[in-house]
Amino acid sequence: MSGVCTPLVTGMSIITESGKGISVRLKPGERWRFKLNKAHENMLSVTKGEDVCLVLTVSQFYKDFKIIEREG
């Protein structure tokens, strides 16, 4: 599963295992690419250009992103 998606939310906070976190700003209408994560079959990699890559569970992806078009 791969293709193009757009955020449904304006941002998300990500907390690492060490307890540190970051905030990612998302803009509904932006075009992001998504594909299955090769290392974890129940996760998707969502990328914006070469700078940002989020790895989300499939359920989190569908909560925060809308698929615009599918590939393959």
The pLDDT tens digits of the residues spanning 14-67 come to: 887 788 888 888 999 999 999 999 898 899 999 998 888 899 999 999 999 999
Predicted pLDDT of residue 11:
87
Nearest-angstrom CA–CA distance, 72 and 24: 28
CB burial string 3-12: b at 16+ within 10 A, e below: eebebeeeeb
Nearest-angstrom CA–CA distance, 44 and 70: 14
State the pTM of this model. Answer: 0.84
